Each structure stands twice: as structure tokens, then as C-alpha cells.
Structure 1
């Protein structure tokens, strides 16, 4: 009988503990639902900092007009639709208050974030509308962000995730294709600016660097040098030199046959001796 009572008491104790665990998990689920609704409600919002504020206050329509003007003139996004926009914060500061703008389409909001680099130097900034939890997660990663940028790496946030990338070496590559200025042709007689197997634009003019191309050369593979030209021979990065490409020509089948015939005759004469 005593053993039975002990088992019953143990089961009741275990049951109470499981009820406590269920209550804790239920609270976490409710908190997650609230957090998700908060994030979902903020996903179409962006904060615009630095847009001049009208003296004496302004209506929501006027705030939306100011944002639309920035999107059209600075970011070249004329067809962006705003659901509403309003100022946040207290009046009377030395700086214009931040505008909180809600976009009708999430794709428009993402297009703005992809083009925020065009605002550089305009004293206007665009920030994502983060909840306090996400803001704290980002804040904890700021030291790593600064350290990566100080090392010359590309570092930015994608929501709460810190993205760090290495800069590609192709950003600093300078074309070294050689051209004979006296006749405007390569040493092997191929017109400069073309290749044996390509059309116009297959060659890049000498001296063109990634910096002079606006930094866009990172997405463009460097063109292949002309086969048999001085540029092709010096393509490993050495300074171009004058090369007699006739000596570098690929042997034809007939020349290979003649060479074999000569070797065979030489072996025959040696055997006779």
C-alpha cells in the first residue's frame, strides 16, 4: 500500500511539473506571436531622416509628398506608391523630425533599399523600421561591422543578419592589352579592338581601369587577349614586350609530317653507317 501511495505522489509531482512547462511554453508562443505581428506590421515601413520639415507643422499628405519627391528626384523611382507617411517625435528640435512612410507594395520598399546608395552626400538617410528586439540584435553586432569595414571588407545588415564579403580582386584590375600606335593594329595583324573569334568590343582599350569605369567592372569578366599577339604572351601580368609572333605560330600538319620524315631519314643514315 505504501508503494502504491509513493507512485501516486510521484505521478502527481511529475504532472505538476509538466503543467508548469506547458505554461512557460504557452507564454513564449504568445510572445512570439506578438513579435511576429510587430515585425509583419513594420515590414512595409521605412524611416526617412533629414527631409526638411515645413514650418508650423505639416499634414500627412504633405509628408507623403516630400517623400515621393525624394524617391523621384534622388532615387529615380517615380512610380512608388505610399499608403501613408507622417512625422514622428517632438516638435521644436534643431533637426527635422523623421518621416515614417508605409509603402503600398513590399517590392517598392525593397527597391528603395536597393537604391539608397544614391543618397550619398545628400544628408538624407533611409533606415529600416526595426522593433526593439531587432534593434538590440543589430546593436550588438556594430563592433564587428566597424572592424570588417576598417579591414576594407564589404559589410552591411540584412535585417538582423550581418553580411561580410571580401572585395574581389577584379575591382582593381587594369587592362594591359598592347597596341601598336603607329599602325593601330596588333603585332599579328589583327585589328585592335577585335579578336580572331569575336566581334566588336572583344578587346578593352589599354589603360582602362575599374575605377575609371565607375566601379562596375567587378561584374564583367576581363576579355581574353588576342591569340598570338604580344598581349596574349604577356597576359600573365608581365610588361608587354615586342615579340615576333611568327616564331610562336602553331605547327601545321604538313610541317609536322616533314619533321617526322626528316627524323626518319636521319635514323636510316645512322643505321647504314
Structure 2
């Protein structure tokens, strides 16, 4: 090998080594970067918690890692040992399940926000309903189905079923449901035109321009819709407690209010 070829080979090797070292350094830096608390939250909390996480990150904190699904699915994941620092449920029942299983940190449970239950229709629909005893829900559906979150375990579905039973119209529509895995999925069935009507939270309806509120259930037709939040015993993130305090602060309450949630009280 000539002197020139050897020189080129040495130079190329040096460049490759430098590139590999730089890549390794970047990878190590990413691995060493602090991460925010893992938050498992009800699907209906998506937009509000994304905003809260953005505000928290702008202040120099590691951005929380957010995961959204039905409260029932998240509670089961936590019971199965899924790593998480904070749980936000769409009802008290699933938080009760974790508390009975001794999976919550003592004295960290609190109510974060409240919500309302509504009937949604497509934005171009002229349907308007007043949910009172015996109201004509089945007639309003026509030949279509009622989009609703799964009624046995998902909080939004359970609130919906309770309200329809209380108002005496459950039997009229029980075999005409279009079940969904969570409330956001039910909302999308209406938004896409797959169902003429659905039942969702008021906050979800407000976030989707393809739907409109066709009726609001009276508060006495179902149990109060409260969102409890708690720290989890299995959590390890040092910022979890501070982020929960932020969510429960006046500033946090203002974020939830902007998204249509009611006050915790």
C-alpha cells in the first residue's frame, strides 16, 4: 500500500471513529436526560393535560409522559404493574379499586375537575333533545345506533347507562348501541357519521368541530362526574408530586376551565 493510500485510510478511520464517538455521546446524552413523571389519564383529559404538560415544560421541567385510555383499562394496567407515577380517572370507582389494592400513595388523592354528560349529533344535524323521563331518544336515532363508551366498565359508558335507566329509556336503545373502547372513540363515531347520535362528556363535544351538543343530561340522572388524581406507590419520578400540585393549583384549574371542565368543588 502506498504512503498516500495509507494516509487516506488512516484519515478515513479517524473520521469514522469520530462519528461513532459522536453518535455514542448523543445516545448517552439522550439516555441521561431527565424525564418527566409518567401520567396515565382518562381519554377525556387528553387536551387539557397536554396543555398543562406544555406549560410545565416551558418552565424548565422535564415534560410529563402522558398516556390516555379508558380509566378501566389504565387501572388494570396499574394493577398489573405498569410503570406510572400519577393516575387520573374519569370516575371515583376505578380510583377506589386502586386504593383498595393499596396502590396509591397515602393522602395524595384529590378531585381535579368535574364534567357534564351530553348527547352529541353531527354538526350539520338539526336534532335537539331534552333528556327528561321518557324522552324520544329511540325515535331520534331513526335507523341508526347510539355511540357510547362500553357501558360495563368505562366511566363514560356507565354514566350514560345510569342516566338512560334513570330516565326510563334504556330498554328502548339497549340493543341499538354502537359501543366504543372509550369516550373519545364514541365521539369519533358520530364525527365520522358512523352513528347519528352519541353520549359523551361536554368537554369532548366542545373539542370536536364535527359534532354539536344536541342535549344535556340533568345532573340528577347520574352520579357526579368527578376526576380524581393520585400519586401511585410504584412511581419513582422525583417530579411527580410537584406536577400533581401544579395540576391542583389555581393555575391548573384555569387550564381545565379553558377546556370546559367544571371546578373540583
* TM-score bracket, shorter-length normalisation: under 0.3
TM-score (norm 2): 0.22
Higher strand share: 2
Of structures 1 and 2, the one scoring higher in RCO (CA 8 A, sep 6+) is: 2
Normalised by the size of structure 1, how large is the TM-score? 0.22
